Each structure stands twice: as C-alpha cells, then as structure tokens.
Structure 1
Amino acid sequence: MSNYGISHTDVMDSVWHVVHAVNNLPEFEIEYPLSVDEQRRIAADFESVSGVGFDNCAGAIDGVLIWIQEPSLREAKRVKFGLNCKAVGDVNGRILYISIAYGTSAAKCVAFEASDLYARLENGLLKYGLVLFGDNAYLNSAFMATPYLHVSGNPNKKSEDNYYFYHSQLRIWVECVFVMLAARWGILRTTMHSKYTVTKEHWACFALDCLHNFCLDERGRSFTGEALMATDPLLDIDREHTC
C-alpha cells in the first residue's frame, strides 16, 4: 500500500466505514421473515430437496466458530478464543438469521436461547406447524425438530435411524452456507487480528453475512448497463447429493 502513497491506517479506516455502511443499510438487514407466505416458500424449497418430502422445515440452524486472537483482559480470560456464531440458512445458501451472542465456551443451546430469534419463536413466529431443523445440541420443541440419539446401526431403531438420516439431509444445508461463506470471504478462514476489538469483529462478521446475501440476490442481474450475467461457482450445488 505504501507504493501508492496510502497508509495502512487509511485503508482500515475506509474498511470500517464500509462495514458500518453495510450494517446500517435497511435493505441489507438480516431478519427471519414474519410473512407466512415467505416461511412457506422456504419450507417448499426444503421439501424439494428432501428424500422423503419433509414439508415443515422452515430453516436449518447450526453454529460455526469465528476465530479470533486473544482479546484484551477486559474482554476475555480464556485460553482459546472465538465467537459463537449461530445462523439459520435456506437451501439457496441465504442466511435467514445470524446471531453472535457468546464466545465459544457457551453451549449452542445457551447461545441460541439468548438470541432474539428464540424469543420470537417462543411467541409464535413460525406458523402452521413449521419448524427449524437443528442437531441434538438444541432442545426438541414445538418450533425445533432434532434427531433421535444413539440410533445409528441399531436394528431395533430402524425408523428412528431413517429419520436421523433424512433429518440430516436437510440440516446439512446450513453447513453448506458456512462453507460458502468461508470460500467467499478469506478472512473467515483465518484468525481475526487481536488489534480489532471483539465489537469490531462482530461488525465485520455481520457485514460479510449481509454482503453474502446480496451477492446471492444479485446473481443473474446485469451491472452498470452491461449485459454481464452474474455467476457464482460457489453455488453450483448438486441438490440431489447436497454438499
């Protein structure tokens, strides 16, 4: 950067201006849809990739570690450090909800129950029997479907084992979202620098998630008046075999 007469500080100032702009743009806001029609559309997309026609999955939820270097003593006092990121995804790779409420030491269930999405779900966000699909780190409930435990290979639990398989067939789509995010944004494959505060690391993650959805939404559109169709090899997903 010094070759162009631009300091590292100036570049980072510009980066954080962009991060703030992205996070404050209403059109980029990530919020699980309240619309019944939108929830049904999400469920219909999941049904189309389900081997047994599950028609009630309105999103797949899981967590991912965002690596960070050791924060200040005021922010953490543990040996290993990271952000506990919770996300809900659809079969198109879009992020329907994102939350970073705790560090990696917190259990998935605890981090989920601290989110505003959990409160909305408790208040009847999902309609007509729709649920989220999550693994056994979450609690089975009226709005969360989890698989059976310890059923793999058990001849006396064949039905439960089959359910586990087809449940995971839909649950894997949120893992595909995490893979796409890491492939698109290289910073998510590394440890965020310790000179950035935890708050700034939150902001950066949210901005990348917003831009990820924007990139998906803009596929197939022309830009600056040119007839260039947006393509994204990261989304060349074989739906029959998932990821």
Structure 2
Amino acid sequence: MGLMSQFHTSINYNKKIFLIFEIFLATGETSHSLHYQFRVGSSTARNIIRDVCESIWNTLRDRELPLLTKEALELAAKNFDKKWQFPHCMGAIDGKHVTVQCPPKSGSEFFNYKKTFSIVLQAVADADGNFLAIDAGDSGRHSDGGILKHSSFGKALFNNELPIPEPAFIGDKKFPYVFVGDEAYPLTPNLLRPYPGRALSDTRRVYNYRHSRARRIVECAFGMLAQRWAALKNRIHMNPDSVTKLVLAACVLHNFVRKQEAASVDEDIDFQGLSGRPEQLPANGRPPREALDIRDNFAQLFVTDLVLPWQYQRANVTPPAFL
C-alpha cells in the first residue's frame, strides 16, 4: 500500500478515512468489519469508500485513461507486435464479472451465466496489461457482445469514430489495424475473434493460437487487477452504483500503480487460452465478407512471413516439411 499512501496526499481526505478505503480495497474486508476496526457505522464506512472512489476516478481518469488518439493506437500496435507478435493489434478486449450482493427488487437483472449476481467490467488492454479504455456498470445478465455494442467505446468503434490508423503494408499486402476479442464479440474489419469450431485447418488452428496469445493479455490484466485489489475477488455488499465507482477507481489505480512500478508482463508465459464459450454472431447472423477476408489474411500471414518457431506445437498441428 506504499504507492497508495503516496497517492492519497493529493486527495483532500484525512488519514483515517483513506485508511478505511485502502484496507477495504486491498483486503476485501466488509464494511461491517471496518465498522468494528475504526468505530464508524457500517453505512458510514460504505459512504467513505464510495466517496473516495469517486474522488480517485475524477482525479486520475484524464491522466490514466486519456482519450485515444491515432498516435496512441499506433504505439499500442507497435508494442503488441514487439511483445506478442501480432502486428497491427491495438488492444485486447474482454469482460470481467464483479460479484455483488443481489440488489433489492432487481429480479434476474444482475444474474449471470455463472449463476451469481454481478456487474460487468469491460476493458481494452494494451500489450503491458494496462487499460486503454473501460466501461463498467452493466448488469451481469448482458453478454459481452451486447455490452460492447452499447458502450461508448463500442459505439465509437462500430460507427468508425475511433482514430484508428489507416491500413498499412505488411509485406506486399495491406492490413487494417484491429482489436482482438473472444467468441462473444462480433467479427468486424477492426475487431477479430477466433475461428469457431473444432474441425479446423492447420492454418486456422495456428491463427487461433496466435489470436489467443494476443488476447490473453486482457485476462492477465484482470488477474493483476483482482490480485492487487482483493475486494474485487469477493462478493461486494454495496449497491451496483457504488460498486461501479469502486471498479472504475480500481482500474485507474491499476494503471497508476503499474506505471509507478515500471512493471511489465512476463513475456515467457505462453499458453493457448482458447475460450470455450459458445459462438455468438452479429445481429444479421453472419460477419461481413470483408471481416472474414481480413481474418483469413492474418491467418495466412502467420504461416508464411511471421512464423513463430513454437506455434505449430502450441497449436497441436504438424509443421510444414520445410521447417
């Protein structure tokens, strides 16, 4: 909590109030436990946590989650290519369920496929596991694809309002800049997902491995987030609006702390990470032909110009005879 202690001096709260927040976020203790430790009411402890979260978000959001620019996305893509060997990938996107106590009179609104009650954090992570964009607060019953569609990031992506760099050559062919996600997301020219099914060609299996290798970084980011802020591991006994404020604050603190520590993701970790969730198609039932061709082009690139020595073993396919 050393970095947190450095940070709290910039916010106008006394030490006791911020200590209540630190202990709650870092250990996941309940407001009822904090009530006994600090001799404040349980509702007072919850109000303190909510207010500090709101102040942290308002203080850090512009610094730690600035508006995306063309230059920032180009830099993110260069880092993805350098660290995870997926060219023109600007970020990895996924959703995380944060478990909450069932809100009164909410019915099944927050009930998710894991059979718990939750709100959803949807995030785009860069190659180092820092967040580029986040959206939090949707109820757990909504799918990742549906949440993306209605989020500010998703609307900007699907309406071509993001400052995405123009397609550029890799070898003798132009490739667009893309984000990568799992099967829950639609396949579009700027958002790729794995090939569905099990009876895949070797080229497609290699693509799925390379896609998974890039996409897993957002899962690593969620893991680091929950490991550092243990409150996100437990069922949170607060109303959904307060939990949303907590999640937003945790995300900007995640970026703040990681940059302060100059931390980096372990590049030696390598696993397939293939998702087992069912395929979900866009509303019209099929991805556009352009998006299918783009994915095929990347797949071909990974077995020709940008081959990784270990990819065939990881994808469980027989390497070509010339290797």
Q: TM-score range by the shorter chain?
A: 0.7 to 0.9
Give the Cα–Cα distance (whole angstroms) in 1 for the partners of residues 96 and 128 of structure 2.
18
CA deviation after TM superposition for structure 1 residue 105, in Å = 1.5
Aligned partner of 1:127: which letter? P
Q: Is residue 69 of structure 1 aligned with residue 101 of structure 2? A: yes
Fraction of identical pairs, as percent: 24
Per the alignment, in what secondary structure is the counterpart of residue 202 of structure 1? helix
Q: Which amino acid aligns with 1:34?
A: L
Change (3 A) 1:160 1:184: same
Which of 30, 51, 64 in structure 2 is aligned with 1:17?
Answer: 51
Letter in 2 for 1:83: I
Q: CA deviation at 1:30?
A: 5.7
What one-letter code is carried by the residue in structure 1 that aligns with 2:81?
E
- 1:213-224 equivalences under 5 Å are 213-219=255-261
Of 127, 138, 163, 1:102 maps to: 138
TM-score, with length taken from structure 1 = 0.82
In structure 2, stretches of 5+ residues that fail to align are 1-34, 167-175, 272-323
CA 214–76 in structure 1, closer or farther in 2 if over 3 Å, else same: farther
- Partner of 1:24, secondary structure, is helix
Tell me how far 1:29 sits from its aligned partner.
5.9
Q: Which residue of 2 aligns with 1:39?
A: 73
Partner of 1:86: 122
Amino acid of the residue matched to residue 207 of structure 1?
Answer: A
Amino acid aligned to 1:123: N
Does the Cα contact within 8 Å between 1:69 and 1:81 map onto a contact in 2? yes
State whether residues 121 and 247 of structure 2, in contact with CA within 8 Å, keep that contact through their aligned partners in structure 1. no
1:238 maps to 266
SS for the counterpart of 1:66 is: strand
Q: CA deviation at 1:34?
A: 2.8
Partner of 2:178: 131
Q: Deviations over 1:194-241 (max 9, x none)?
A: xx2211111111111111111112225xxxxxxxxxxxxxx5632132
Q: Is the 8 A contact 1:47 1:55 kept in 2?
A: yes
RMSD of aligned alpha carbons: 2.3
CA distance in 2, matches of 1:212, 1:242: 23
Give unmatched runs, 5+ long, in structure 1.
221-234
The match for 2:149 is: 113
Equivalent position amino acid for 1:98 in 2: I
Are residue 56 (structure 1) and residue 84 (structure 2) matched?
no
CA offset digits 1:172-196 (Å, max 9, x no partner): 0000000001101111110011xx2
Residue pair 1:49, 1:170 contacting (<8 A) in 2 also:
no
8 Å contact kept, 1:58–1:132: yes
Separation (CA, whole Å) in 1 of partners of 2:37 and 2:194: 56
Q: Equivalents in 2 of 1:172, 1:186: separation in Å? A: 21
**Aligned-residue offset at 1:10:** 4.1
Could you say if the C-alpha distance between residues 40 and 33 of structure 1 is closer, same or farther in structure 2, counting changes exceeding 3 Å?
Answer: farther
**Closer/same/farther in 2, CA of residues 6 and 48 from structure 1, 3 Å limit:** same
Tell me the amino acid that sits aligned with residue 22 of structure 1: I
Q: CA deviation at 1:28?
A: 4.7
- Rounded to whole Å, the distance in 2 between the matches of 1:89 and 1:163 is 20
Aligned to 2:307: none
Q: CA deviation at 1:25?
A: 1.8
The offset of 1:77, in angstroms, is 3.4
Which residue identity does 2:72 align to in structure 1? E
Residue identity in the other structure for 1:206: L
Q: Which residue of 2 aligns with 1:149?
A: 196
Name which of structure 1's ranges 23-32 and 137-146 shifts more when overlaid on structure 2. Answer: 23-32
Tell me how far apart the structure 2 counterparts of residues 168 and 178 of structure 1 sit (CA, whole Å).
16
